[in-house]
Structure 1
Amino acid sequence: MPISEGHSALPNEPTTSEVGEFIVNMYTKENFKEYSNGGIQLDPIGHLFQSPDSIIEGAAGKKSDEIASLAKPLASAGESKKEHSTIIVQMTTNDSNPPSTPKSPLSRRGTGLSRIRITLFHKDSGVSVQESWRKRNSTVRLKNSKNFVSFHNIYYTIPQGYFWQRKPPKVILNNVSGIMRSGVNAIMGPSGSGKSTLLDILADRKDRRWVTGHVLINGEKQPHNFKCACGYVVQDDILTGTLTVKENVYLSALLRLPPEMDKDEKLEKVDEVIEELGISHVADTLIGTAFTRGISGGQRKRTSIARELVVSPGVLFLDEPTTGLDSTTAESVIQILHNLSKKGRVIIMSIHQPRYSIFRLCDHLMLLSRGVVVYTGVGRAALPYFANTLGVECDEFENPADFFLDNLNETENASDRETGDTGHPLGNKWYDSEDYQILTDKLKRLLNKAIDQPDGIAPKYATNPLTQTYYLFGRGMKKLLRDPTAGVAVWLQNIVLGVFAGIIFYQLGDGENALLDRSGAIFFCMLCNLFTVATSLGLFVNERALFIHENSSGFYRVSSYFFSKFFGDLIPLRLLPVPFFSAIAYWMIGLQAEVEKFFLFMLGIFAQNMAAAGLVYSISAAVGTFPVAQIIYIVLLVFAMIFGGFFVSLNTVPSWVTWLQWFSYFKYTYAILLENELENTEFTYCGRYNGTVCLFTTVEEGNDYLENLNFRQYNIYWNFLGLGLLALALFILTYIFLLRIKKTT
């Protein structure tokens, strides 16, 4: 792909203190593996030659000991390599005191080495190569990694409307192809151009049913579970607010680094990444919640990046990393990414409209408009491409990013007014350009090599399910202890409601209304516990984005997350408060003063809360918003209460809806608690039921009447079994909904 002269507003060359020249020979690859023996290679994104497989080999040096040592041959010239032309290379340094022992260009650019200026001359004729390559000189970085991501003819089409509606599918991406290599790769375009969609496809985070085309990683087929092997930073920082910066990063290390590393090594890696990103001064500060002030937006973004970098991914994806940040903070974040890319990482980010100081840090640029590629190549070459091919030039002091978006939006609007076409005229010009033909040839060679390869499989999870559950349970406990709204409020609610129930029904007697009063007290106790269980409606709703991101990134399995919530929410918040509520309400109300009956009462409340929690969890996992989840729970709660046997006799309910009683946890719990209270009582059953005054002289008569009302249709143990099966079915349904979330994201 040709390199064109950079924009006039680009920074000038650095002040140099040393200049050296040496002659190098350029060879065309013939049966010579790229990167073999560590030869110096031109940036594959911005190569100067039509053959992207060309390599440079040093021959001699002058005027600088450092430059001379850098120019020594690093790969022996085999007989299979053909001498093609001569290159005069001028190296400049901006360090007046270069190191006495220069670093090899194979590892990292040596201290003091700033630029390499290359002038090409044809060996025989002496004619400048500028005529054929349109470039007299350029800036090239030495690379030490061959990591790259190539994508070939990507289409992303989604269906529209419901099954009874005949609507054409919507094309989000239309024949998108390109190569992203080591460095900072930016995907730019107007809103709705498909930037985030392309990023998700490259990171293997879109449903493959709607994706056609190929994605290659280092020239090989994208492995299954690639999303677990790469790093991905979402646009809205998804962190656990009740944990510190270091705890968030450390949890990522514990779950994603191999078990062969001990905790000290993982902690050392965490400290190294935190230091590298410049957030060590806030390492012990909470991220922050709605009730607790935490770190700033820029520090949150760096923490999100640190969670991914702790596993040293070769490819790092970022979706709008500058969103919500001021210009200075945004530039510092991109500068950090730019520095990280020098280590051979492929940094791919979508970005909307960066300032110039951010734009100049992008090594590679892809412009999208309505899902069509308008340009892809070296970032500095985009402006000359627009000037030479499209005939539009950027003003000297105008931000290139603003210039690109203005032209894209203007062309889109003009196309809509004139033809109503959903395509983009600039995309057609790109497909007709010489640069696109060169890129297409390279992509075809890569795809032909990989087409017969077997599908690769990346490691899915670094730790076993038990370890994942343990660490997630620990995170849940920290959140419970540090967030007063999650733990203290629930316990306080149980105690307050227990006292309130005890005051209202304090010491019930054995008089005329004994049956009505005791059945009402039992029903009220059941209802109070259902109010406390309802606080779990936001459990999966509030953590939906966190679960999607962490599960997609290979933090943990769905089963580990489910069981961590089962033990971390159900036990401490739904079951453990029950003894306190029961002890207060049972003895204040004055139910049968027998220890055995008290524990059976408490066990009945336990079982009800299990079934109710299963219903709440399944609703929370199935619905993405809290108001909708709340409405669904209220409706189902009303149905459960109606078919519980307290408000209406189940014998009078229409036969075509009586089957709903078997899904009412009220029915089972009410039968257990009422029979437990009325069994073997010494007082005569008296009470008013459904407008009728009931007076029984013997216990047997009362029991027979209650049995006819479906209060005692089965014994206690069968009702416990019914509650258990209902709870189990609801927990299984919750797990299925979590799997569905994973599958559709």
Structure 2
Amino acid sequence: MTMTDNEPVAPGPFHSKDLEHSTSAFRCISEAHQGHSGSSLEWNNVTFKIGDKTILKDCTGLLKPGELTAVLGPSGSGKSTLMNILGGRQRAKGKGKSFGGVVSFSGQVDEPVKFRSRIAYVMQDDSLIATSTPREILEFSAKLRLGAKQDMTKEEVKDLVQDLIESLRLTSCSETLVGKELIKGISGGERKRTSVGVELITKPDMIFLDEPLSGLDSYAAYITVTVLKELAERGVPVMVTVHQPSSEIYQLFDNVMILSAGEMVYYGKTSRVTQFFDKYAGLRCPPNFNPADFVLFALQTEPQETIQKLVSAYAKSAEEDIVPTINTIRQTHKELATDTSRPGRASFMVQFRELFYREVLDTIRNPVVLIMRYMILLVLGLMFALIFFDVGETQDQDYWLANASEFQSYFGAIVALNIMAMMGSAQTAVLAYPAERGIFLREYASNMYSAVPYVVSKTLVELPLSFGDSLFLMIITYWLMDLQGSFMLWVLTLWLINLCASSLAQVLGSACNSAAQAIQVLPLLTVPQILFGGIFTPIENIPVWLRWLQYVCFLKYGVNITYLIEFGDDFDVINDQQNIDPDLLGLYLGVTFALLVVMRVAAIIILKKKAKFVF
């Protein structure tokens, strides 16, 4: 569909009775934000550099109450970076970074990060828990972000969630799992509206959305922008980065901001953009042509000299019209009072409870993962049991010294079980954190919870699963291998090694940005554990300058403990060969548990550091 600059678009397929019904339903969202109307955002001469590269240069603008603003520009023009900086989501200062300019919220000048709690930010990627429903996702957000308000009851929270579900046209899918590649779920448009609803829960003063229309069909995109238009009309400023909007969607926006190579080319009414391009660059939009398509095409095909004419023309008009308005707002502003009605983060127990419940549901609703987990244990356990079949015997030290090869097989079985407990847990856990990275960063940035209850909740859900793994492995192998030590002590020791391995994987998964990175680095942390396990060579044969690494390898402690479970403390010669001291059994247990705790704390610290800013 196309349109001229001064000619309204004829009613299209979206202007139907059912659309009028839906927009009336959106009104409840808008009314919920009336108490936060009147906020504005001002910025002038904003410049941002990383190294020698200029990302933004002398950007000036003003976001007013009641206006829906589109941000247009070619890829790499700085759209998302400008929005991230204005929304306090971009680390603007630091090594190799340079930031200049002034930003103010309703006239109060400060660092943008100070305003981030007042600005809802919907990211481009819909990072949602695949095994949760839209209703559960909205209730999760409400309980963590509104539950801290003393005057908001559970019933009121549920009513708010129901209003959002109806307003965002999610009623038909409210009880359907969000889904992912292997789990059938809701549509792309429904996912996007769920993401919007998560941020609308807190009734923000302002809303930023990064490419919310990507991947949506024309009707779903139109419905999404209509929601935002309704909110803007109720006094909530809304800024949206869009990529090639249709003419009908373009018409819904009040203003358009256009960037090219980090510089602002135009910022003003959508109806005047073609006149601006014609007046200052001689670029005339053809009749019946979408202005958005015309602008984006011109910015990528016209010579740089032509684009600079537009940049200079806007800079002059901003200096004459926008800057005086910004100065007036800043001179007459009232100090932003602390908004006591704005919900803070819920208590630790509430955070933990909701995260724990969600983690349990995620485990239960994904039975394929559990089935595969135990099938792998069954196959590998049987393989180990058959390879080391009937290896265990009750013999004295002299027998084992005389039959070194048999002892090596017996000892090899002990090490192999420890390795299996380690690898089975590490492989699973190392993928979990990168897979949920986007979800954690979005929710952490939205102040839903801290890293501590997030890690603790995952740890407690993991405890019975890890115990089940160890128990299942020993049921398969213990009698077939004819092991002599206490069955329950074996289970408990492998459980401890399993938890240590998942803790190590947590640290790695928290530090890596993707599952591919984590998988590539994992051998660097697990192979040394195996080398110092004592199966390939006795510890005493390892060079002295490397031997100290055994003291930070939890697998070595696991081998020592299970060795003592099997052979007791009577084999002084063999104990010396394996560098195992029966008198230090308590120390082995204590150090192993300490390593577990240290690695979990390290995972928390890494997550907090990486999530301090989302971008």
- Identify which range, 316-325 or 625-634, moves more after superposition: 625-634
Q: Give 1:139's aligned residue.
A: none
- Residue 275 of structure 1 and its aligned partner are, at CA, apart by 0.6
- Residue 572 of structure 1 and its aligned partner are, at CA, apart by 3.3
SS in 2 for 1:479: helix
**Alpha-carbon distance in structure 1 between the residues aligned to 2:351 and 2:407:** 51
The aligned runs of 1:187-336 (5 Å cut-off) are 187-209=71-93, 210=97, 211-221=99-109, 226-259=115-148, 260=150, 261-336=152-227
Q: 1:629 aligns with which of 518, 535, 539?
A: 518
The TM-score with structure 1 as length reference comes to: 0.72
**Alpha-carbon distance in structure 2 between the residues aligned to 1:509 and 1:486:** 33
**Alpha-carbon distance in structure 2 between the residues aligned to 1:706 and 1:650:** 11
**Alpha-carbon distance in structure 1 between the residues aligned to 2:434 and 2:553:** 24
The aligned runs of 1:481-630 (5 Å cut-off) are 481-508=364-391, 510=393, 512=403, 514-533=406-425, 534-568=427-461, 570-592=462-484, 597-630=486-519
Q: 2:595 aligns with which of 707, 726, 729?
A: 726
2:534·2:556 contact (CA, 8 Å) conserved in 1? yes
Q: Are positions 1:465 and 2:357 aligned together?
A: no
AA aligned to 2:408 is L
Q: Deviations over 1:210-265 (max 9, x none)?
A: 43333322223457553333321111211111111111111111111143322221
- Residue 537 of structure 1 and its aligned partner are, at CA, apart by 0.9
- Residue 426 of structure 1 and its aligned partner are, at CA, apart by 1.8
* Structure 2: gaps (5+ residues): 12-29, 396-402
**Alpha-carbon distance in structure 2 between the residues aligned to 1:227 and 1:536:** 32
**Alpha-carbon distance in structure 1 between the residues aligned to 2:565 and 2:237:** 67
SS in 2 for 1:236: coil
Higher relative contact order (Cα pairs below 8 Å, separated by 6+ residues): 2
Call closer, same or farther: CA 1:369–1:629 in 2, change over 3 Å.
same
- Residue 277 of structure 1 and its aligned partner are, at CA, apart by 1.3
Q: Give 1:427's aligned residue.
A: 311
2:503·2:599 contact (CA, 8 Å) conserved in 1? yes
Q: Deviations over 1:84-126 (max 9, x none)?
A: xxxxxxxxxxxxxxxxxxxxxxxx99xxxxxxxxxxxxxxxxx
Q: Deviations over 1:636-678 (max 9, x none)?
A: 2111111122211111211221121112122111111112211
**Alpha-carbon distance in structure 2 between the residues aligned to 1:297 and 1:390:** 39
1:238·1:545 contact (CA, 8 Å) conserved in 2? yes
1:256·1:461 contact (CA, 8 Å) conserved in 2? yes
SS in 1 for 2:367: coil
- Residue 496 of structure 1 and its aligned partner are, at CA, apart by 4.2
Q: 1:344 aligns with which of 218, 232, 235?
A: 235
The TM-score with structure 2 as length reference comes to: 0.87
SS in 2 for 1:240: coil
Say what the alpha-carbon RMSD is for the aligned residues.
Answer: 2.8
1:505·1:521 contact (CA, 8 Å) conserved in 2? yes
SS in 1 for 2:541: coil
**Alpha-carbon distance in structure 1 between the residues aligned to 2:455 and 2:409:** 40
More strand by share: 1
AA aligned to 2:252 is L
Q: Are positions 1:442 and 2:440 aligned together?
A: no
More helix by share: 2
Q: 1:183 aligns with which of 67, 76, 94?
A: 67
**Alpha-carbon distance in structure 2 between the residues aligned to 1:604 and 1:499:** 20
Q: Give 1:695's aligned residue.
A: none
Q: Are positions 1:671 and 2:566 aligned together?
A: no
SS in 2 for 1:487: helix
Q: Which has the larger radius of gyration?
A: 1
2:132·2:178 contact (CA, 8 Å) conserved in 1? yes
Call closer, same or farther: CA 1:740–1:567 in 2, change over 3 Å.
same
**Alpha-carbon distance in structure 1 between the residues aligned to 2:521 and 2:281:** 56
- Residue 634 of structure 1 and its aligned partner are, at CA, apart by 1.4
Give the number of aligned pairs: 573
**Alpha-carbon distance in structure 2 between the residues aligned to 1:565 and 1:509:** 37
SS in 2 for 1:241: coil
**Alpha-carbon distance in structure 1 between the residues aligned to 2:53 and 2:437:** 27
**Alpha-carbon distance in structure 1 between the residues aligned to 2:332 and 2:488:** 71
Q: Give 1:82's aligned residue.
A: none
**Alpha-carbon distance in structure 1 between the residues aligned to 2:9 and 2:578:** 88
Q: Are positions 1:174 and 2:62 aligned together?
A: no
Q: Give 1:8's aligned residue.
A: 6
Q: Deviations over 1:3-28 (max 9, x none)?
A: xxx92332479xxxxxxxxxxxxxxx
Call closer, same or farther: CA 1:455–1:719 in 2, change over 3 Å.
farther
Call closer, same or farther: CA 1:388–1:426 in 2, change over 3 Å.
closer
**Alpha-carbon distance in structure 1 between the residues aligned to 2:289 and 2:87:** 33
- Residue 713 of structure 1 and its aligned partner are, at CA, apart by 7.2
SS in 1 for 2:45: strand
**Alpha-carbon distance in structure 2 between the residues aligned to 1:388 and 1:286:** 52
**Alpha-carbon distance in structure 2 between the residues aligned to 1:586 and 1:543:** 36
**Alpha-carbon distance in structure 2 between the residues aligned to 1:714 and 1:653:** 23
- Residue 301 of structure 1 and its aligned partner are, at CA, apart by 1.0
**Alpha-carbon distance in structure 2 between the residues aligned to 1:376 and 1:245:** 36
Q: Give 1:479's aligned residue.
A: 362
Q: 2:586 aligns with which of 679, 698, 717?
A: 717
1:249·1:306 contact (CA, 8 Å) conserved in 2? yes
AA aligned to 1:425 is K
SS in 1 for 2:267: strand
SS in 2 for 1:375: strand
Call closer, same or farther: CA 1:516–1:455 in 2, change over 3 Å.
farther
* Structure 1: gaps (5+ residues): 1-5, 14-107, 110-141, 160-168, 417-422, 681-698
- Residue 487 of structure 1 and its aligned partner are, at CA, apart by 3.0
What is the aligned-residue identity percentage? 28
The aligned runs of 1:137-176 (5 Å cut-off) are 145-159=37-51, 169-176=52-59
AA aligned to 1:649 is P
